[in-house]
A = this chain, B = another copy of it.
């Protein structure tokens, strides 16, 4: 086999007259009357190689033989060629590629493999349906965006591990075949052959193990690790996803946030060439909901929500005053809104109605001041107050929703993103904190943890926790913190309960009695009783982080071999039926109702 001496992306004018061996894929093929031009591709780039140029110096018979070989080549055939680097004839340079000043005059060629007819045209990859792309993922990888995304992810992984390793974090492996624990989603189960009738679960996160590592004295732990959730994949989720998981002991929120901010800044600096300033802004959960209608606001969008419930309560517009009595009235100002026609407003009204609002009120600031169909219901001084609160100028458009706080938040948050297209080259990072520890399930009336059950309550709220009364429990804040980038939660974490007593209190409020908690995560509770240090941690969703950094629509674009929304792999055809014999060995039987088979 001819062995490569250079890659397809590295030759330049200065390499003239060098004898080299290149190998790669035929990316394109042109026969110009007996002179054959091939763009040879590998992961590093393209090099033009030429057969039949006079200057090859081969004798005629050999030259003809070589041309004959080259004529049989087709796109994506795999070849190795020996040849001499030559400057391209003047005027034929290609400034679009790094190797565009040179070509390689081939003197020897070896066909390494053929390629059968391609299922799609590499030049029209954008038109290919996703399932087809997933089925021929190895073809999609050879060119274009997917390759770049995976290379970026590779670099992120190296920067990440070197950062945390340099900060004294230890990378420690946690088990994949573990015990089912309740963390909000369904577990994937794995039947045990050696322990008949018993099952392992694949981890939803290494949460309990990393807490045990803290009990074990590892004061700083990290790991880039696969996690598993058997969810219905409505959204942009995958059954298996990659998490940067970390935990620290003898620390508080400030310590963790300092490390994470420095990490994120170094990622932006090293991989994006972007300087991000520290500390990141921080919002309490309540503030975020009030000002942006969401706990994941995109701060690249300037518009903020303004509460006018007080004003609405006493105004003459009955829709507002009624709503303010039972809920809230809040508004959002859109600047430069002359572009927004009445027909767009009507469209948007339907959209917020689908989100649960009864209607959408609006007022424009025109030449003559605030005007709309509803301004007649307001006294002049009320309109003045509105104008003052929103700081309106000519061209502004105010939208109002009057409803429950939840609905109002949902609608106005939607309007923020509806009318502002954030700049793709800007990055807005923030912390959201002071979450409630619990939220009440509307259906069951039971309390559930807003993050996970190992999250510590705020120190000042322990008494409220002890009281056990609903109104007290509702106001207990947690020591959880999420990091938001451009309106997407890229990570979250918390200070954990290192006190067994507090952990027991939390379980009691969640309706998990002692027996159940001992059964389900007794091993963690036990560990806490053997000298657990104060500790807390964080986890980044690495797929989501890469997708956000690269402005990609879906995390599937950063996963080499992803599954579809049906948790199906088009490339391997997994999951698949298995032999009866295998199931017998595992002591299980398949039992699918007929209407599902």
Contacts and interface: CB of A to CB of B under 8 A. Distances in A.
A137 B233 CA distance: 36
A442 interface: no
A476 to B, nearest CB: 20
A111 to B, nearest CB: 11
A243 B188 CA distance: 23
Interface string A556-597: 000111010011110111111110001001111111110011
Interface string A23-43: 101000000000000000111
A104 interface: no
A239 to B, nearest CB: 6
A434 interface: no
Given A158-B165, A252-B3, A588-B591, A216 B533 contact: no
Interface in A112-162: 112-116, 118, 136-142, 147, 150-151, 153-154, 157-158, 161-162
Interface stretch (A63-71, A198-206, A409-417, A460-468): A198-206
A590 B587 contact: yes
Given A154-B170, A252-B1, A523 B573 contact: yes
Interface in A169-193: 170-180, 186-193
A1 B177 contact: no
A219 interface: yes
Contacts of A180: 576, 578, 582
B575 A199 contact: yes
Best-buried of A162, A191, A228, A232 by chain B (most CB within 10 Å): A191
Contact of A171 (B25, B158, B201, B240): B158
Interface in A262-295: none
Contact of A531 (B115, B571, B597): B115
Contacts of A194: 232-233, 566-568
A527 interface: yes
A206 to B, nearest CB: 10
A192 B575 contact: yes
Contacts of A116: 529-530
A176 B213 contact: no
A579 to B, nearest CB: 9
Contact of A559 (B138, B173, B233, B569): B173
Interface stretch (A72-80, A342-350, A352-360, A366-374): A72-80
A284 B107 CA distance: 37
A217 interface: yes
The binding surface of chain A is classed by DSSP as loop
Nearest to A227: B176
Interface string A208-245: 11001101111100000010101011000001101000
Given A139-B216, A532-B113, A596-B196, A176 B176 contact: yes
A195 interface: yes
A81 to B, nearest CB: 12
Contact of A218 (B141, B196, B242, B255): B141
Given A80-B250, A170-B154, A179 B573 contact: yes
Contacts of A582: 180, 186-187, 189
A169 B259 CA distance: 28
A267 to B, nearest CB: 16
A597 B196 contact: yes
Contacts of A379: none
B217 A173 contact: no
A150 B223 CA distance: 13
Interface in A84-124: 112-116, 118
A231 to B, nearest CB: 10
Q: Which residue of A112, A140, A201, A576 has the most chain B CB atoms within 10 A of its CB atom?
A: A576
A115 B526 CA distance: 10
Contacts of A499: 113
A53 interface: no
A193 B185 CA distance: 13
B23 A239 contact: no
Given A115-B529, A142-B216, A252-B3, A173 B43 contact: no
Interface of A: 1, 3-4, 7, 23, 25, 41-43, 76-78, 80, 112-116, 118, 136-142, 147, 150-151, 153-154, 157-158, 161-162, 165, 170-180, 186-202, 208-209, 212-213, 215-219, 226, 228, 230, 232-233, 239-240, 242, 250-252, 255, 498-499, 523, 527, 529-534, 559-561, 563, 566-569, 571-578, 582, 585-593, 596-597
The 5 closest A-B pairs by CB, nearest first: A141-B216, A115-B531, A138-B216, A179-B574, A198-B575
7 contacts: A150-B170, A157-B161, A173-B242, A175-B569, A179-B569, A189-B191, A588-B591
Given A23-B250, A151-B170, A199-B578, 4 more contacts: A78-B531, A138-B530, A200-B574, A589-B591
